[in-house]
């Protein structure tokens, strides 16, 4: 089956530092990758959609300069949380899909838990 990995699984950082999260599709080429964040006991919130080789499309209310997304290849997308603050602490989850539309089957990574002190 389609496997998506994320690294790191957990990260603790100081306020003001930047954190990079990697999302890889291990056994398939993902045309599109999606980034979500999830707060405790809350829904997943779509942050952005990224297609290989092009700029990411951000959801309303998500700061592009704060959450930098790079989709360098068909198997790798990265999310960089710049100048992280405690309110950025959350569970970040990526997903990958074969097609370009969000209704395509998405395969989710295991998530990255970020704690900003």
Partner 1 sequence: EDQVTQSPEALRLQEGESSSLNCSYTVSGLRGLFWYRQDPGKGPEFLFTLYSAGEEKEKERLKATLTKKESFLHITAPKPEDSATYLCAVQFYSGGYQKVTFGTGTKLQVIP
Name which of 60, 84, 61, 80 is nearest 69 in CA terms. Answer: 80
Binding-site member from 56, 69, 74, 93 for partner 1 (CB under 8 A): 93
Name which of 17, 37, 33, 24 is nearest 92 in CA terms. Answer: 37
Q: Residue 19 or 93: which CB sits closer to partner 1?
A: 93
Q: How far apart are CA 106 and CA 63, in angstroms?
A: 24
Q: Residue 2 or 68: which CB sits closer to partner 1?
A: 2
- What tokens were used for 45? 């919130």
Does position 114 interact with partner 1 (CB under 8 A)? The reply is no
Binding-site member from 58, 77, 109, 116 for partner 1 (CB under 8 A): 109
The one-character DSSP state at 84 is -
Does position 28 interact with partner 1 (CB under 8 A)? The reply is no
30-69 binders of partner 1 (CB under 8 A): 41-46, 59-60
- Answer for the pair 81, 19: CB distance below 8 angstroms, yes or no: yes
Sites of contact with partner 1 (CB under 8 A): 4, 6, 41-46, 59-60, 93-95, 101-103, 105-111, 113
């Amino acid at each position: 089956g389609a496997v998506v990995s994320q690294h790191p699984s957990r990260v603790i950082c100081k306020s003001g530092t930047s954190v990079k999260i990697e999302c890889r599709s291990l056994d398939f080429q993902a045309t599109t990758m999606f980034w979500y964040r999830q707060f405790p006991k809350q829904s997943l919130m779509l942050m952005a959609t990224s297609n290989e080789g092009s700029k990411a499309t951000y959801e309303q209310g998500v700061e592009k300069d704060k959450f930098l997304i790079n989709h360098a290849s068909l198997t790798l997308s990265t999310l960089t949380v710049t100048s992280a603050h405690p309110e950025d602490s959350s569970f970040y989850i990526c997903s990958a899909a074969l097609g370009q539309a969000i209704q395509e089957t998405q395969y989710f990574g295991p998530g990255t838990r970020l704690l900003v002190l």
